Amino acid sequence: MKTRKRLIVLFLLPASLVYLAFFLVPAVWAFYYSFFDWSGFTEKMKFIGIHNYTELMHDPTFLLSLKNTLFILVVGGIIIFALAFLLTVLVNSGIKGKKLFRAMIFLPNVIATIALTTLWAFIYNPNFGLINGVFKLIGWKAGATFTFTSIDHIFYAMMAALIIIQVGFYLVLLMAGMDKIPAEFYEAARLEGANQWQMFTRISLPLLWDVISIGTVLYAIFALKVFEFPYAFNQVWPPQQLYTVGIYLFIEGFGKRIPIYRLGYATAIGVVLLLFVGVIVLLLRRLMRREVIQY
């Protein structure tokens, strides 16, 4: 019994201490900073109560960042899951090379975000890029001169790229769930004369519910804290059209070209972001809760 206690302490303590010191404590500490006006690491902090939060509610740049983030979450999420489902059904339709297709579609997920943004910068480049090049080849003038990365379109161009990259991850997740469903279910349904769509809605969807539920939570977390891809998408300084909440926090805290640090304000943005993650994850878990189907 004594060794058991020693085992628990020795095995659990190191990880817990590191996690506490460099993750949990800073997360809690952030709440404290968010009530201060603090313009630099050497400056004095001034307590201003909830002023940072009230200012946030009227800050057009913050509201734009929030809108962008929620757009990535909701619209991006719906498209990603629809595509991932479509591809899962196609990959599982009895074709050859299932594993190869899965591996290829997942591939972008192992490449550094910054390499991916560079790739997409080429794909969208109006002068010698891939898409405009294809339009030029087929002789479509209007398409060939279209600038995908102009200020009006850059957010959607970024979204499209992000979606194509992310789909592979959810494809892998859904396929793993599919593999757990016994093949007899589909055979029985086929004998009864069910078509692909019926088999999908009556067998796959209900039995995949657990996987879908975890997948949506993972996507929500990813979408709410997304930073790297939109931040680097424009190659140089990101225009406001690409701001997500995480990016705006960074810009306010560290990233201005003329360094005006607003550390308290930036931390308040982080706190709001954390609250969004918490509320949305709880909401999703609530919405997706269902009786587990045993099989």
**Dist. CA 28–CA 117, nearest whole Å:** 33
Least distance in angstroms from the C-beta of 27 to another protein: 5
Largest CA distance in the chain: 79
φ, ψ dihedrals at 180, nearest 5°: -80, -15
**Dist. CA 218–CA 170, nearest whole Å:** 10
- Name the token pair of 132: 């405009």
Q: 161, exposed or middle or buried, with CB in 10 Å at 0-12, 13-18, 19+?
A: buried
Q: Strand ranges (DSSP E) for 27-143?
A: 36-37, 46-47
* Segment 264 to 293, residues that bind another protein, using CB under 8 A: 266-267, 269-271, 273-274, 277-278, 281
47 binds another protein (CB under 8 A): no
* Segment 130 to 149, residues that bind another protein, using CB under 8 A: 130, 133
169 binds another protein (CB under 8 A): yes
Least distance in angstroms from the C-beta of 278 to another protein: 7
Q: Taking CB under 8 A as the rule, which mask of x and - marks residues 83-112 in contact with another protein?
A: ---xx--xx-xxx---xxxxxxxxxx-xxx
* Segment 186 to 215, residues that bind another protein, using CB under 8 A: 210-211, 214-215
238 binds another protein (CB under 8 A): no
**Dist. CA 99–CA 72, nearest whole Å:** 29
30 vs 199 by CB, closer to another protein: 30
Sole residue written with tokens 């004594």: 2
Least distance in angstroms from the C-beta of 152 to another protein: 21
- Return the residue of 121, 131, 194, 284 that touches another protein, per CB under 8 A: 121
Least distance in angstroms from the C-beta of 57 to another protein: 19
Expressed in angstroms, the distance from the first to the final Cα of the chain is 39
Least distance in angstroms from the C-beta of 104 to another protein: 4
